[in-house]
Amino acid sequence: MTTSLERRRFLKSVAAAGVILPGMSMFGAAMAANDTLELGDAQNFDFDALINRARTMATKDYVAPIAPDPEIVGKIDYDTHGKLHYKRDHSPFADGSGTYPMTFFHLGMYFAKPVHMYLLEDGAAREVVYRPDYFDMPEDSIARKLSDNSGFAGFRLHENLERDDWKTQDWAAFLGASYFRAIGDEGQYGLSARGITVNTATSVPEEFPDFREFYIEPAKSAEDPVTIYALLDGPSITGAYKFLLYRGKGVTMDIEKHLFIRKDIERLGIAPLTSMFWYSEQNKSFRFDWRPEVHDSDGLELWTGSGERIWRQLNNPEVIRASAFGDHTPRGFGLMQRDREVSHYLDGVRYHRRPSLWVEPLEDWNKGAVQLIEIPTDDEIHDNIASFWVPDEPAKAGNSYQFKYRLYWQAENPFPVEKLAKVTATRMGRGGEPGTNRPKDEIKFSVEFEGDILGTLEYGEFPEVIVSTSRGEIVRTKIEPIMDTRIWRAAFDLKATGTDPVDLRMYLKLDDAPLSETWMFQHLPGLTNQQQG
């Protein structure tokens, strides 16, 4: 009997001789020709079967993935992992069988769960078998002691083969639980997305379901998508995913997912985004850090089903805060990086080039809420911001869901605010006016709006400031243009006692027509200006 290994060696020798066997695609021949990449036997694959697998798994008890050789993987710390580099001459699709080569991440202390990787074409899937010699690693690295076929931690897609720098430049990565990310049109990584969130900031511990299997089908041209299928599994949920990844202006991802609830879930987050906000101009204290601002995203932007455009400035609170923005059939939402001025960061890690991430539903999501979770942080190394859609329907065991949406990883909103001014800065300071006895119980808010529509105002014509508060009193509201700019500044003082959060809302209008998007902010009066953030 011919073994699977002998069969692989046979296919390699046939392909090396330039012979294509009947029924063997060019892709299969090219993969077989790679004499160092070991592939498993071909298996039939289709998305419907993957969906059925996820549905069946949800009816059974959860079995957690087990890290191979845990005593070894547990010693592959951050520094050790950073010295493990996948060799580019082992990259799938680098032979021209696809447009974008792929490389794999090694297992390690912080990515200990193995993920099975399959190369896919024409309904046939072959698993890539892990071998230590796929990686450049120091001679004394403990990673050399891992068993064959231990699995990989994740993968990333590199730039087009036609680019001279493809070996050093990648544009999308899937690594850790259900996390993934992509670069924007500024060529920089920043915030992340997740396949799902389960019980984030609730009365029960958060769960982190894992992508357990990936099936990757290459793009045949730069206009075609890389197609990725994924199987998700966690204690309370299973799922089958289909990703279409397009490398164009930034990165666009079409996502279809089928979810099956294994156990009741208190807060199920759809299309979750995760980011970092430490401080910006509105909550900066000189005691934090020498840089003017540090954040991957500075606000949550919403486009509601009714058509309202909202900008919610992010906060770094003193305790975990959850905000909900109820909606019906939302048009989109995203965690955005609006501030693109390099002088506002003065940092070598290029915060001014971090991508924004916009979610566009591709079908009716019915009733629910975009929820925003803000978690205290005292450093930039922690992702402390999350946003996602939560359906109104409780996520009960036995329920199933299907969602389709598109992610835009790029600098600006793909659906810009038309004919409305947008918020460009939020600032805070002492209440009152210069040269007066400043009241100690008032905080001044100064919000800057910019847009072509403000330039159409007649000389002496001023917009009306519409501002409201969930509690307390608004005093001394005013608006003025900032000389030699296209910016108008709307300011007001808030007088509020106590320590409970204050939700503020403001927009500009002229006659009965809005001139701006809606600015929203959650003020935390329990903190002083020097402490906020």
Return d(Cα 531, Cα 528) in angstroms, integer: 5
Q: What is the pLDDT of residues 338-373, one digit of tens each?
A: 999 999 999 889 999 999 999 999 999 999 999 999
Task: Report the length, in residues, of the chain.
Answer: 533
Per-residue pLDDT for 7 more than 70?
no
Asked whether 484 and 285 are in contact (CB, 8 A), the reply is no
Domain boundaries, the chain: 4-35, 47-410, 422-523
What would the DSSP string read from start to end of 261-310? ESS-BS-EEEEEEEE-EEE-TTT--TTT-SSS-EES--EEEEE-TT--EE
Opening angle at CA 23, ends 22 and 24, nearest 5: 90
Q: Which of 7-21, 88-102, 366-380, 422-436 has the lowest mean pLDDT?
A: 7-21
| Percent of the chain residues topping a pLDDT of 90 | 81
**Fold annotation for 422-523:** Immunoglobulin-like (2.60.40)
Per-residue pLDDT for 20 more than 70?
no
What is the per-residue pLDDT for 34? 52
Per-residue pLDDT for 390 more than 70?
yes
Return d(Cα 118, Cα 129) in angstroms, integer: 9
Per-residue pLDDT for 8 more than 80?
no
What would the DSSP string read from start to end of 79-110? HHHTT-EE-GGG-TTTTTTSSS-EEEEPPBTT
Asked whether 199 and 74 are in contact (CB, 8 A), the reply is no
What would the DSSP string read from start to end of 255-271? EEEEEEESS-BS-EEEE
Asked if 47-410 and 422-523 have one fold, the answer is no
Asked whether 195 and 211 are in contact (CB, 8 A), the reply is yes
Asked whether 472 and 494 are in contact (CB, 8 A), the reply is yes
Q: How many CB atoms lie within 10 A of CB 92?
A: 24
Q: Which two tokens stand for residue 505?
A: 């809302």
Return d(Cα 402, Cα 270) in angstroms, integer: 10
Return d(Cα 283, Cα 141) in angstroms, integer: 44
What is the per-residue pLDDT for 527? 58
Q: Which two tokens stand for residue 397?
A: 């065991």
More reliable by pLDDT, 262 or 21? 262
Per-residue pLDDT for 22 more than 70?
no
Q: What is the pLDDT of residues 412-454, one digit of tens each?
A: 999 998 889 999 999 999 898 877 778 888 999 999 999 999 9
What is the per-residue pLDDT for 486? 82
Q: How many CB atoms lie within 10 A of CB 95?
A: 17
Q: Which two tokens stand for residue 150?
A: 């231990």
More reliable by pLDDT, 16 or 339? 339
Return d(Cα 408, Cα 506) in angstroms, integer: 27
Angle between helix 26-33 and helix 4-16 axes, rounded to 10 deg: 100
Q: What is the pLDDT of residues 33-82, one digit of tens each?
A: 455 689 999 999 999 999 999 999 999 999 998 889 999 999 999 999 99
Say which DSSP state 517 is in: P
User: With respect to CATH, is domain 47-410 assigned 1.10.40.60?
Assistant: no
Per-residue pLDDT for 121 more than 80?
yes
143 in helix, strand or coil? helix
More reliable by pLDDT, 230 or 32? 230
Q: What is the pLDDT of residues 156-174, one digit of tens each?
A: 999 999 999 999 999 999 9
Say which DSSP state 460 is in: T
Return d(Cα 22, Cα 4) in angstroms, integer: 19
Asked whether 243 and 253 are in contact (CB, 8 A), the reply is yes
The mean pLDDT value for 461-473 works out to: 96
What is the per-residue pLDDT for 16? 32
Confidence class for position 287, pLDDT limits 50, 70, 90: low
What is the per-residue pLDDT for 522? 95
Mean pLDDT of the chain: 90
